[in-house]
Amino acid sequence: MLEETERNAVISWVTVAVFVLSVVGAFVLFLVRYLDSKLHTWNGPSPLAPGFWSTRVKAHELGCDSAPCYALAQRLYGTNPVSGVNEYKLYLTDGVLVFLAVAFCIAAVFLIGELVKAPPPPPRYGR
């Protein structure tokens, strides 16, 4: 195991950069698609409202007596069910995404903070 004074700062910064960029990149690609989603009733042919936020507000106004109540996209195409449509659960679906985004931000700030306050390794003039 390397002692803290023998760690290479470049490798540490590259690790942080790769971690942050990969998670941010995946999150952005996911958000582009997710922000395009409009909630439908489970077997409904059209969205509850015209926009992303308005469908969530409408779903919370209507509530849910017995699951499944809402889908993230149209679940039926004509009379045939579409495979791969996810259920939207009130408070849980968006809540988990917000929790994960906050956890990522905390992790990134922690990693950057640890790198910034770490003392630089002493110079080595040979082996």
Both 99 and 61 in one domain: the answer is no
Asked, for residue 111, whether it belongs to a domain, the answer is yes
Q: Structural domain tally of the chain? A: 2
- Size of the chain in residues: 127
Asked, for residue 18, whether it belongs to a domain, the answer is yes
**pLDDT (tens digit per residue) in 85-113:** 788 999 998 899 889 889 988 988 998 88
String of DSSP letters for 75-88:
-EETTEEPTTPPEE
Is residue 78 pLDDT above 70, yes or no? no
Q: Which of 2-11, 24-33, 83-92 has the lowest mean pLDDT?
A: 2-11
Both 4 and 29 in one domain: the answer is yes
Asked, for residue 11, whether it belongs to a domain, the answer is yes
Helix axes 92-117, 9-34, angle to 10 degrees: 160
The pLDDT assigned to 34 comes to 87
Range of the domain at 43: 37-89
Asked, for residue 115, whether it belongs to a domain, the answer is yes
Asked, for residue 126, whether it belongs to a domain, the answer is no
The pLDDT assigned to 61 comes to 94
Asked, for residue 125, whether it belongs to a domain, the answer is no
Q: Whole-model pTM? A: 0.64
Asked, for residue 79, whether it belongs to a domain, the answer is yes
CA distance 22 to 2: 26
Both 84 and 108 in one domain: the answer is no
Both 45 and 69 in one domain: the answer is yes
